[in-house]
Amino acid sequence: MSNLYFHYPFCKQACHYCNFHFSTNQKEVDQLEEGMLKELDLRLTELKTPLESIYFGGGSPSLLSADKLSNLIHQSKAKFSFHDGIEITLEVNPDDVSKSYLKDVKEAGVNRLSLGVQSFYEKDLKLMNRAHSVDQALQSMEWVSSVFSNFSVDLIYGMPNSTLKEWETNLNQALKFNPPHISTYALTVEEKTALYYQVEKGEVFLLIEEDVKAQYDFLVKRLEALNFINYEFSNFGKKDFFSINNQNYWNGKPYLGIGPSAHSYDGASTRTWNVSNNHKYVAALKKGFLDNETERLSKKDQYNEYVMIGLRKIEGLSKEHVEKTFGKTYAAYLESQVSRHLEERNLFWDGDFLKITPKAKFLSDGLAADLFKI
Ligand code: SF4
């Protein structure tokens, strides 16, 4: 099965923590939308299996009208075969939606929404420079939950000056709307973002790691008690509501990324990514070619990625898979690296699968790095 991803690279304003590719200058919107359709045509042969998921991300794809979304879905259907029960997700910002817009995008074929609330505190939204208010967050939650049964809410924990109590209140606000899926991310400071310079200048003070971990641990406990399954480090879903797009991505299925900065993967060892510049992207497509780069992943790269993603997933990582895919040397290396973490009870074997213990969950990326082949 394959996945199709559309990266819509426009936003109303720049969130201070964001390092995704987007532009607040809407000058080339029309040319860019034409470019995305041209790119689809150019890359028809790259996906050989039916589509199991289409994901509209960005940027802010909720700036696209329902008619334009309908056209992109229609064009995709004309060019690729759709698997039964295909998941079509649209990322939406609270300030972009109305109840009628949500009904229209549902009519256009979108069957899953991902709502970028991030926080229900005005002070957090201001600090992040989000374009929406708390009232808009609450209103959009109400509309989304009344129009869609399959939807996810994004929340950010570890906000500067936040307390565990505030995080609990934030989570409870979201839970009032019975979301079947919640994605949560720790606030991270990426280089060259406004937040990075604010932290550098001492204008914003980050929480210490212990406090961030306490918020994450609380989150896992609270959501698991409500029958959410923490199927990946940052993702919690009720049974039958795990994101197909995310799971396919983590399970190494092929995906085709359309739009500036979008990444594609052939499901084996080749990854490509489009230029992260709207003007260059459009200019190349006008001349009939795609401005992109290609990377061939070595066996070592593939092993490291498998380990990194595996430790974040509920299934863990399979020693048999490591041996079959990468060879006996890699399997032996994995065993040797794991022993210390077994003793410290950070990791454990569940049959063939290496998994992370609840107490070490928050440390999964660091633990994975210990198992990497350098
Ligand atoms: S809306 Fe999303 S993509 Fe746009 S700046 Fe904010 S976080 Fe980044």
**C-beta of 195 in contact with ligand 1 (< 6 A):** no
Domain holding 366, by residue range, is 299-371
Q: What is the pLDDT along the chain (374 residues), one digit of tens a residue?
A: 899 999 999 999 999 999 999 999 988 999 999 999 999 999 999 998 999 999 999 999 999 999 999 999 999 999 999 999 999 999 999 999 999 999 999 999 999 999 999 999 999 999 999 999 999 999 999 999 999 999 999 999 999 999 999 999 999 999 999 999 999 999 999 999 999 999 999 999 999 999 999 999 999 999 999 999 999 999 999 999 999 999 999 999 999 999 999 999 999 899 999 999 999 999 999 999 999 999 999 999 999 999 999 999 999 999 999 999 999 999 999 999 999 999 999 999 999 999 999 999 998 888 999 999 88
Are 325 and 226 in the same domain? Answer: no
Are 218 and 89 in the same domain? Answer: yes
Are 245 and 320 in the same domain? Answer: no
Ligand 1 center to residue 16 CA distance, Å? 9
**C-beta of 105 in contact with ligand 1 (< 6 A):** no
* Rounded Cα–Cα distance for residues 121 and 206 (Å): 17
Ligand 1 center to residue 58 CA distance, Å? 7
**C-beta of 9 in contact with ligand 1 (< 6 A):** no
Ligand 1 center to residue 60 CA distance, Å? 7
**pLDDT tens-digit profile of 299-326?**
999 999 999 999 999 999 999 999 999 9
CATH of the domain at 237: 3.20.20.70
Ligand 1 center to residue 188 CA distance, Å? 14
**C-beta of 59 in contact with ligand 1 (< 6 A):** yes
Are 73 and 189 in the same domain? Answer: yes
Are 33 and 126 in the same domain? Answer: yes
User: Among the three residues 233, 250, 267, which one is the final residue of a domain in this structure?
Assistant: 250
User: Among the three residues 250, 280, 315, which one is the final residue of a domain in this structure?
Assistant: 250
* pLDDT of amino acid 277: 97
Are 64 and 204 in the same domain? Answer: yes
**C-beta of 11 in contact with ligand 1 (< 6 A):** yes
* pLDDT of amino acid 374: 83
Domain annotation covers residue 133? yes
* pLDDT of amino acid 288: 94
